[in-house]
A and B are shown apart, each in its own frame.
Chain A
Amino acid sequence: MIAYIIRRLFGAVLTLLIVSMITFGIFYLVPRWAGGTAEDLASRYVGRTASPEAVAEAAKALGLTDNFFKQYWDWLHAIFAGRDFIFGGSTYHCPAPCLGYSFIGRNPVLPDILDRLPVTASLAFGAAIIWVILGVSTGVLSALKRGSIFDRAAMGFALGGVSLPIFWTGLVSLVIFSYGLGWTARGGSYTPIEQNPLDWAYDLLLPWITLALLFSAAYARLTRAGMLETMGEDYIRTARAKGLRERTVVTKHGLRAALTPIATIFGLDVGLLLGGAVLTESTFSLPGIGKYAIDAITASDMPKVMGFVIFSAGFVVIANLIVDVVYAVIDPRVRLA
């Protein structure tokens, strides 16, 4: 088991390395495709009166004149050792772990991201709780009452739910419930949980519901399909034949088997969400890391974008890892794969 975990951990680190290299490569190349030179990139950071020498100095200090591999290595090295940039008479220190230094805001990227993470985490976990409860219970009930009006209505609703773009449902619900009826918080509201848990929940209610609606629709469909498949299995028939009560059959045997794949997807979804609910945060103007990324792109603040990509890829990789390990614990056969 430990050997398996180590192997997967190694794989995860490797994946992150390659993700970072590809990301770095693309962000290294993209400005150059757009016609920018190292000096162009540096000139954005040194003010309007900068002489060509000052620009050249900055380009050199920022490592923009180096080749791709040197730049990537410096970036990687900074994660463990930190980095100093010295130009224009000032020193800029990016302490380890340094995921990059934004020269537009003149601050290291990681503290910014960590500062915004609670918002995204609150959004993801709150929504996750709602959608799991709503989605799974709807799915199970639908499967058990297959063909009933409830089943049809729920599945119709679910199909509608997965067919709506979140930025549209978000907008419409903001217009109706916030601007119109005044029941929910306005877009852009966020209160940290440690300040006031009630305000925290009130502010996030609408984003949670919007996000959860979308996911619970998907989960209801998945759970229903999984349940139907499981309930048709031989061992369920055996369990019934043994004279077990239907309730026991469903909860102890059926649900358990049907939920395993749901757990997998749940892990990945939460990982993805933590990596930045870009559209949700944009729609509700929540100051999380997804909005941070969009703002960074708008400002062409590439160190920020780069830091965000690595950070969020890290979440997906970790989620993958956890799911795999949990799987291996549940089902020993996986370890051989």
Chain B
Amino acid sequence: MVVGPDASISDQVPVGEPPAEAEGSQKAIEGRSLGQIAWRRLKRDKAAMAGGIVIILLILVAIFAPLIVNAWGYDPNSFHQDAMDPATQAPLSKFPWGAFDSKHLMGVEPPFGRDIFSRVLYGARISLLIAFLATLLSVVIGATLGLIAGYLGGWVDWLISRAMDLFLAFPILVFAIALAGVIPDKAFGLSGDTLRIVLLIFIIGFFNWGYMARIVRGQTLSLREREFVDASRSLGARSGYILRKELLPNLVAPILIYATLLIPTNILFEAGLSYLGVGIRPPTATWGGMLSDAVHYYTIPHYMFWPGLAIFITVLAFNLFGDGLRDALDPKTR
């Protein structure tokens, strides 16, 4: 599976020093938690802040898409045949690339003349929703298993590590396609788009926990041997306590960084699935689905330009922000 390799996909995300020492010195520097330090650093990183702002805007756009479309555009699924040439199926607009028309901001798509602007906005909802929740699922599974493997070691570690290898060895994309192709109409009390979204989240999230687990396991392995863990253990703390109170807080940074960088990968993955025709069903607008339709009309470039641009901007914003976050939480790599 090659959806788009990303720097983030390796376990080389430099996670650096865990802020264990900070605990001791916390009192000395009044009120400056790790979060505050990181936030101060982040604020200085212009690219990351730009990425963050774009992300917030995208989320707002996704949430308020129906309102924006109501005020500005058209229903994403309604036809505007008057904007199309019936014989050649090309848009009639005189404007280059069919865009910036007074009626249709980004032009219309063949063959029915649906408004591209509205469809791109609605596409953001699907993309972001699936990417966020799938990432969450990967993080939960990956972090839990990684933590357990790293902390307990022994045969548990062996078992989980082999499972990790297993999931990394799967040709995920093909697998996801085969699975998504046979999603039933009704299951678990859900149906239609809702069911498909839930199952896509599950497929994307479930097959992607391997890398997360690997990183968390590696971190846990090194943290386990640290003095503060030893100290806690010698004070009689139980494993559950140590996991939750000592290890987990120190793992927040790598988990957060990796999660931010996993989101864009998942956006690309979802787009890839929709592109191959196994994502959300038409007529619901998705970026990958729009691109897949655009292929048949490559002579009309604006049709593939806008959804491509949407994917690019979104993924870039998350990558910028994730990079900045990593730098902020881990000054050593700057």
Q: B301 contacts the other chain (Cβ, under 8 Å)?
A: yes
- Distance to closest chain A CB from B288 (angstroms): 8
| Most chain A Cβ neighbours within 10 Å, of B12, B294, B333 | B12
- Residues in B neighbouring A225, C-beta threshold 8 A: 7, 12, 14, 333
Q: B90 contacts the other chain (Cβ, under 8 Å)?
A: no
User: CA A282 – CA B177 in complex, angstroms?
Assistant: 13
User: CA A320 – CA B195 in complex, angstroms?
Assistant: 36
Question: B: which residues have CB within 8 A of A?
Answer: 1-7, 9-10, 12, 14, 162, 165-166, 168-171, 173-175, 177-179, 181-182, 184, 264, 268, 271-272, 275-276, 288, 291, 294-295, 298-299, 301, 304, 308, 311-312, 315-316, 319-320, 323, 332-333
A221 touching B7, Cβ below 8 Å: yes
A165 touching B311, Cβ below 8 Å: yes
- Residues in B neighbouring A215, C-beta threshold 8 A: 5
A30 touching B4, Cβ below 8 Å: no
B1 touching A278, Cβ below 8 Å: yes
| Known contacts A171-B298, A317-B169; A229 and B333 CB within 8 A of each other | yes
B5 touching A226, Cβ below 8 Å: no
The 7 closest A-B pairs by CB, nearest first: A163-B315, A163-B316, A221-B7, A316-B169, A168-B308, A312-B171, A34-B182
Question: A: which residues have CB within 8 A of B?
Answer: 11, 14-16, 18-19, 22-23, 26-27, 30-31, 33-35, 159-160, 162-168, 171-172, 174-175, 179, 211, 214-215, 218, 221-222, 225-226, 228-229, 232, 261, 264-265, 268-269, 272-273, 275-280, 282, 293-294, 297, 305, 308-309, 312-313, 316-317, 320
A313 touching B170, Cβ below 8 Å: yes
A229 touching B298, Cβ below 8 Å: no
A309 touching B175, Cβ below 8 Å: yes
A162 touching B169, Cβ below 8 Å: no
Q: Which partner residue on chain A sits nearest B264 by CB separation? A: A163
* Contact residue among B5, B165, B170, B295 (Cβ-Cβ distance under 8 Å from A162): B5
Q: Which partner residue on chain B sits nearest A316 by CB separation? A: B169
User: CA A275 – CA B1 in complex, angstroms?
Assistant: 7
- Residues in B neighbouring A167, C-beta threshold 8 A: 272, 275, 291
New A-B pairs, 15, CB < 8 Å, besides A19-B169, A159-B323, A163-B316: A11-B162, A11-B165, A30-B182, A159-B319, A168-B308, A171-B291, A172-B304, A175-B301, A228-B333, A229-B14, A276-B1, A276-B174, A278-B174, A316-B170, A316-B171
Q: Which partner residue on chain B sits nearest A312 by CB separation? A: B171
Q: Which partner residue on chain A sits nearest B292 by CB separation? A: A167
* Contact residue among A26, A168, A272, A293 (Cβ-Cβ distance under 8 Å from B2): A272
- Distance to closest chain B CB from A6 (angstroms): 16
- Residues in B neighbouring A22, C-beta threshold 8 A: 166
A165 touching B2, Cβ below 8 Å: no
| Known contacts A34-B182, A222-B12, A225-B12; A279 and B272 CB within 8 A of each other | yes
| Known contacts A167-B291, A320-B165; A297 and B181 CB within 8 A of each other | yes
* Contact residue among A35, A160, A228, A297 (Cβ-Cβ distance under 8 Å from B174): A297
| Most chain A Cβ neighbours within 10 Å, of B2, B179, B264, B298 | B2
* Contact residue among B3, B4, B171, B304 (Cβ-Cβ distance under 8 Å from A276): B171
- Residues in B neighbouring A33, C-beta threshold 8 A: 182, 184
| Known contacts A30-B178, A34-B182, A277-B2; A164 and B312 CB within 8 A of each other | yes
A265 touching B1, Cβ below 8 Å: no
- Residues in B neighbouring A272, C-beta threshold 8 A: 1-2, 171
Q: Which partner residue on chain B sits nearest A220 by CB separation? A: B7
| Known contacts A159-B323, A171-B295; A273 and B2 CB within 8 A of each other | yes
Q: Which partner residue on chain A sits nearest B168 by CB separation? A: A316
B179 touching A26, Cβ below 8 Å: yes
| Known contacts A160-B316, A313-B169; A265 and B10 CB within 8 A of each other | yes
A309 touching B12, Cβ below 8 Å: no
A162 touching B4, Cβ below 8 Å: yes
User: CA A226 – CA B12 in complex, angstroms?
Assistant: 9
User: CA A146 – CA B93 in complex, angstroms?
Assistant: 48
| Most chain A Cβ neighbours within 10 Å, of B166, B177, B178 | B178
- Residues in B neighbouring A261, C-beta threshold 8 A: 10, 12
User: CA A42 – CA B320 in complex, angstroms?
Assistant: 52
- Distance to closest chain A CB from B4 (angstroms): 6
User: CA A94 – CA B181 in complex, angstroms?
Assistant: 28
User: CA A215 – CA B319 in complex, angstroms?
Assistant: 15
- Residues in B neighbouring A282, C-beta threshold 8 A: 276
B6 touching A162, Cβ below 8 Å: yes
- Distance to closest chain B CB from A38 (angstroms): 16
